[in-house]
């Protein structure tokens, strides 16, 4: 708390980075809430018996979060420093341009002063040769236009200098903000590592006993299988919701287009009829004008009074009504469709996306190992007195970089009993890769990864006795041997 207070006062100014970070956190909150509920749902099916590894969960998650934050901050710091360097180069160029323009403007004003600043009225009244006067006026016009352009360009560059300085100051504020956050995260990391070491020391005997306990490994596997099944259903539901929302939007767009076309057609028809009526009225008015002109010219001929029709003579006279414009044609009524609830952005965050590059199934035998190390356990081999391994265990040093074996999308990034800090990547085609016992998870749910992207660091979270990576491949929820796919 003291550390937070120490750094809060100097950086109370809100930077663009702070706003973007807050928006990103708010966007992830809804999805994280769903995944937490999913984990709780899995936990309800298990016995209430405490697991020693659960005591480490909070500390191991905090270490993972701190390491991820430090990595993100280092990336941000590099990007901000690069931006600051670019702004400095841009500032130097702008400053040089402004100085040059000021010199040009001063030279123009000095030359105009030396020339006597002869105005146009004086030149016109000089009585000089008209050709010379016209030439001088033209030259004065060119000079004035050049001055105006130079002034406008100078104003624009001075404004650009102000914007550049504001952006540079914001970048400096962001660097100070990042430095403060780094200090806070480093202190938090050291604190959590010390706390975890103390917990491990106090729980070491209990952890060893529980690892040997019959049924523990089976429960861990069932827990992971339950998580995979529920994630698969959630993704499928969200994909269906996304498809339904897309279809609804397409239908709405098609309906709006049809209505717009119907309105345009009705308007065009009404305009054509109005033009025809106006043309007929104009022709009738012209005919009457010509008839009156001819009558006035002859002086004798008068148009005979119109006699009412024999049938209409007995009818009462009705005042003539002005012609009404034609009513616009209404589009045909459409059948009302039942309203569908619009899918929220957070609801489709896990919907499968097509990874860039070749389909996963075509990469069989070409995938690189997710981490450098020694293959300590293979798929299908016996796991002590328990069941067979559903994946492989690669022994490696704590903190070793774990990379995604192929492109895809992160659909799970959290702590799970038996597997510690674990990350799952969906590669499309219902192929998933699973990375467990990590020290730190460097990617969040919803992140899109490319082949070889660093996604985690190796460790022994979840109560594992040695440092390394537990790695699985699954298709349609079923684990299969990664040996034929990955070059270990």
CATH number of residue 140's parent domain: 1.10.287
**Residue 339 within any structural domain of the chain:** no
* Whether pLDDT at 5 is above 80: no
**Residue 94 within any structural domain of the chain:** yes
In contact, 369 and 362? CB cutoff 8 Å? no
Last residue of a domain, one of 197, 230, 263: 230
Higher pLDDT, 130 or 413: 413
Task: Tell me what pLDDT residue 50 has.
Answer: 54
* Whether pLDDT at 82 is above 50: yes
**Distance set, CA 340 to CA 46, 249, 303, 334, 345 (Å):** 37, 11, 71, 17, 15
pTM: 0.62
Task: Tell me what pLDDT residue 178 has.
Answer: 85
Higher pLDDT, 68 or 469: 469
Task: Tell me what pLDDT residue 136 has.
Answer: 64
Contacts of 59 (CB under 8 A, 6+ apart): 192, 195, 196, 199
* Whether pLDDT at 347 is above 90: no
Higher pLDDT, 26 or 63: 63
Last residue of a domain, one of 230, 264, 283: 230
**Residue 39 within any structural domain of the chain:** yes
| Phi-psi label, residue 127: left if phi above 0, alpha if psi -120 to 50, beta otherwise | left
Q: Which two tokens stand for residue 188?
A: 């938090």
* Whether pLDDT at 318 is above 50: no
Task: Tell me what pLDDT residue 40 has.
Answer: 63
Q: Helix crossing, 16-44 with 130-212: angle to 10°?
A: 30
Q: Where residue 460 sits, what CATH number does that domain have?
A: 2.70.70.10
**Distance set, CA 102 to CA 105, 119, 148, 151 (Å):** 5, 24, 13, 9
Q: Stretch 471-484: mean pLDDT, rounded?
A: 95
Q: Which two tokens stand for residue 464?
A: 């594992």
Q: Stretch 55-70: mean pLDDT, rounded?
A: 87
In contact, 482 and 451? CB cutoff 8 Å? no
- For the chain, the average pLDDT equals 79
Domain total of the chain:
2
Give residue 312's pLDDT band: very low, low, confident or very high (50, 70, 90). very low
HSE value, Cβ hemisphere, 13 Å, CA-based, for 174? 25
Give residue 6's pLDDT band: very low, low, confident or very high (50, 70, 90). very low
As a whole number of Å, the end-to-end CA separation of the chain is 46
Would you give the distance in Å from CA 375 to the centre of its chain?
Answer: 39
**Residue 310 within any structural domain of the chain:** no
Q: Which two tokens stand for residue 75?
A: 């990336």
Whole-number Å distance between alpha carbons of 349 and 248 = 19
In contact, 183 and 8? CB cutoff 8 Å? no
102-136 exposure pattern, b = at least 16 Cβ within 10 A, e = fewer: eeeeeeeeeeeeeeeeeeeeeeeeeeeeeeebeeb
**pLDDT, tens only, 132-165:** 666 766 766 777 787 788 888 888 988 998 999 8
**pLDDT, tens only, 278-309:** 999 999 998 998 888 888 877 654 555 544 44
Q: Which two tokens stand for residue 65?
A: 């979060």
**Domain carrying residue 375:** 363-480
Contacts of 22 (CB under 8 A, 6+ apart): none
**Residue 394 within any structural domain of the chain:** yes
In contact, 235 and 350? CB cutoff 8 Å? yes
**Residue 319 within any structural domain of the chain:** no
**Distance set, CA 166 to CA 13, 57, 173 (Å):** 13, 44, 11
Strand 468-475 vs strand 408-416: parallel, antiparallel, or unpaired? unpaired
Phi, psi of 217 (to 5 degrees): -65, -40
Task: Tell me what pLDDT residue 207 has.
Answer: 66
Q: Stretch 426-455: mean pLDDT, rounded?
A: 94
For residues 224 and 372, state if they share a domain.
no
Strand ranges (E), 327-418: 367-368, 374-377, 392-395, 401-403, 408-416
Task: Tell me what pLDDT residue 2 has.
Answer: 39
Give residue 118's pLDDT band: very low, low, confident or very high (50, 70, 90). low
* Range of weakest confidence among 205-214, 367-376, 397-406: 205-214
Task: Tell me what pLDDT residue 7 has.
Answer: 43
Last residue of a domain, one of 214, 230, 246: 230
Q: Report the percentage of the chain scoring pLDDT > 70.
A: 70
How many residues belong to the chain?
488
DSSP H helical segments within 45-129, as ranges? 52-114, 120-124
Please spell the DSSP secondary structure of 396-418, one letter per residue: --TT-EEE-SS-EEEEEEEEETT
**Residue 454 within any structural domain of the chain:** yes
**pLDDT, tens only, 162-200:** 999 888 888 888 888 888 888 888 888 888 888 888 877
3-state secondary structure (DSSP) of residue 77? helix
Task: Tell me what pLDDT residue 315 has.
Answer: 46
Whole-number Å distance between alpha carbons of 264 and 272 = 12
In contact, 486 and 394? CB cutoff 8 Å? no
Q: Stretch 340-361: mean pLDDT, rounded?
A: 55
Report which secondary-structure segment, H or E, holds 467. none
**Residue 98 within any structural domain of the chain:** yes
């Amino acid at each position: 708390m003291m550390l937070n207070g120490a750094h809060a006062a100097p950086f109370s100014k809100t930077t663009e980075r702070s706003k973007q970070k807050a928006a990103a956190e708010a966007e992830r909150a809804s999805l994280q809430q769903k995944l937490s509920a999913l984990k709780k749902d899995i936990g309800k099916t298990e016995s209430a018996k405490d697991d020693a590894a659960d005591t480490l969960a909070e500390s191991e998650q905090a270490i993972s979060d701190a390491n991820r934050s430090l990595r993100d901050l280092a990336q941000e710091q590099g990007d901000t420093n690069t931006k600051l360097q670019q702004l400095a180069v841009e500032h130097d160029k702008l400053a040089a341009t402004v100085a040059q323009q000021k010199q040009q403007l001063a030279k123009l004003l000095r030359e105009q002063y030396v020339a006597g600043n002869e105005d146009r009225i004086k030149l016109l009244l000089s009585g000089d040769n008209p050709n010379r006067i016209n030439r001088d006026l033209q030259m004065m016009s060119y000079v004035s236009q050049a001055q105006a352009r130079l002034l406008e360009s100078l104003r624009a560059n001075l404004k650009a200098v102000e914007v550049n300085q504001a952006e540079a100051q914001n970048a400096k504020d962001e660097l100070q903000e990042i430095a403060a956050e780094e200090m806070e995260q480093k202190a938090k990391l050291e604190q959590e590592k010390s706390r975890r070491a103390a917990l491990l020391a106090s729980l070491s005997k209990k952890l060893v006993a529980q690892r040997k306990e019959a049924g523990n490994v089976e429960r861990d596997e069932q827990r992971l299988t339950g998580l995979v099944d529920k994630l698969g259903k959630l993704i499928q539901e969200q994909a269906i919701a996304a498809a339904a929302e897309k279809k609804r939007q397409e239908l709405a767009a098609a309906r709006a287009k049809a209505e717009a076309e119907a309105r345009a057609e009705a308007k065009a028809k009404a305009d054509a009829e109005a033009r025809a009526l106006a043309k007929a009225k104009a022709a009738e008015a012209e005919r009457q004008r010509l008839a009156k002109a001819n009558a006035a010219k002859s002086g004798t001929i008068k148009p005979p009074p119109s006699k009412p029709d024999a049938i209409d003579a007995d009818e009462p006279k009705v005042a003539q009504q002005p012609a009404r414009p034609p009513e616009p044609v209404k589009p045909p009524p459409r059948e009302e469709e039942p309203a569908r609830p619009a899918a929220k952005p957070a609801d489709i965050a896990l919907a499968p996306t097509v990874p860039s590059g070749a389909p996963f199934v075509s990469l069989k035998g070409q995938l690189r190992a997710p981490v450098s190390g020694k293959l300590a356990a293979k798929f299908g081999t016996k796991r002590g007195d328990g069941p067979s391994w559903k994946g492989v265990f690669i022994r490696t040093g704590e903190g070793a970089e774990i990379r995604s074996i192929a492109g895809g999308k992160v659909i799970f990034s959290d702590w799970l009993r038996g597997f510690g800090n674990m990350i799952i990547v969906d590669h499309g085609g219902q192929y998933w890769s699973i990375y467990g016992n990590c020290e730190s998870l460097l990617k969040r749910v919803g992140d899109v990864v490319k082949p070889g992207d660093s996604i985690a660091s190796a460790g022994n979270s979840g109560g594992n006795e040695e440092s390394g990576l537990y790695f699985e491949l699954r298709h349609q929820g079923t684990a299969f041997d990664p040996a034929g796919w990955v070059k270990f």
